[in-house]
Every structure is written in C-alpha cells, then in structure tokens.
Amino acid sequence: MEGEGLAGLGISWPTLLAQIVNFGILFVLLYLVAYKPILRMLDERSRKVKESIDQTERVREQAEQAEEESKRRIEAASREGQEIIARAVRTGEEVRQQAQQEAKREADSLIVRAREKIQGESDEAIGKLRREFADLTILAAEKVIERSLDKESHRQLIEKTLDESATLKKN
C-alpha cells in the first residue's frame, strides 16, 4: 500500500532512487568544485579584509604619532620663538639703555666743555675789561694830574686792587 501511495502521487522508486543518486553526485561535485573554492575565496577575502583593517589601524596609529610629533614640534618652535622674542626685547632694551647712557655722557661732556669755554671767555672778557678799565683810569689820572704816569706800574696797582676787591666779594 505504501508503494501504491507513492505511485499514486506519480513518484516511481527507480526514478526517485536515480534522482537521489544524481543529487548526491551533484552535491559531491558542487562540494568539490564550487563549495571549497567559494570557501577558499571567502577565507581569502576575510583575510584580506582583516589585513586591510590591521593596515588601516597601523596607518591611523602612525597618523596619530605624526600628529603628536607635529604638536610637539610646534610647541617647541613656539617656545623657541618666544625665547628669541624675549632675547630680542632684552637686547633692544640693553641697546636703548646703552644709547641713553652714551647720550648722557656726551651731553655731560658737552656741558663741561661749554662751561669751560664760557668760563674761559668770561675770564678773557674780565681781563680785557680790567685792562681797559686800567687804561681809562690811567688816562683819567693823567688828565687830572696833567702829567704822564708810568702806565705799567699803575696797571699793576689797579689790577692788584681789582683782585683784592674780587677776593673780598667772593668771601
């Protein structure tokens, strides 16, 4: 009855058995020809993806290291630049102070020379004025006395008097 049930469905045993054998052979052939190469290809692809991921990770790490190195270099360059600027400012300040000191020394020197020159000219003018005063005094005395006096002895006398009066004025 069971055999009749399958025959009623249109299934014959020899055909079913042939199809099962054909399916088994096809399955073994597909396993050998297609499944193994596909698995190999998938394994190879998986390995390549893993290598790509590893390589990407290495590149990322190298990029991070390069970025950190760049930051360190930039910071070092910044510090060095600030030090250079600070040195330049200090040098500029030193140069300015030296220039001020030199200008002050020159000004002091000019003032001393000017005072010396003024003192010399003043002494010369006072001497000239004394000589002229002595000459005028002698001339006036000659006219008063109407006789000629010894000019040199009178000049010495007048200068001695003027020196004494100048000494008294200073004290």
Give the pLDDT confidence of 3-16 residue by residue, as tens digits: 566 667 777 888 88
Query: In this predicted structure, what is the pLDDT of residue 34?
Result: 82
Sign of CA dihedral 84, 90, 96, 98: negative
Give the pLDDT confidence of 18-49 residue by residue, as tens digits: 999 999 999 888 888 888 888 888 999 999 99
Residue type, 36: K
State phi, psi for 37 to the nearest 5 degrees: -65, -35
Query: In this predicted structure, what is the pLDDT of residue 63?
Result: 94
Instruction: Give me the residue label for tokens 């600030």.
Output: 82
Residue type, 9: L
Query: In this predicted structure, what is the pLDDT of residue 1?
Result: 47
Query: In this predicted structure, what is the pLDDT of residue 163?
Result: 76
Contact in structure between 134 and 155 (CB atoms under 8 Å): yes
Q: Which residues of the chain have pLDDT under 50?
A: 1
Query: In this predicted structure, what is the pLDDT of residue 22?
Result: 94
Instruction: Give me the residue label for tokens 């000239």.
Output: 128
Query: In this predicted structure, what is the pLDDT of residue 13?
Result: 84
pTM for the full predicted model: 0.40
Please return the burial class of 142, using the count of CB atoms within 10 Å of its CB with bins 0-12, 13-18 and 19+: middle
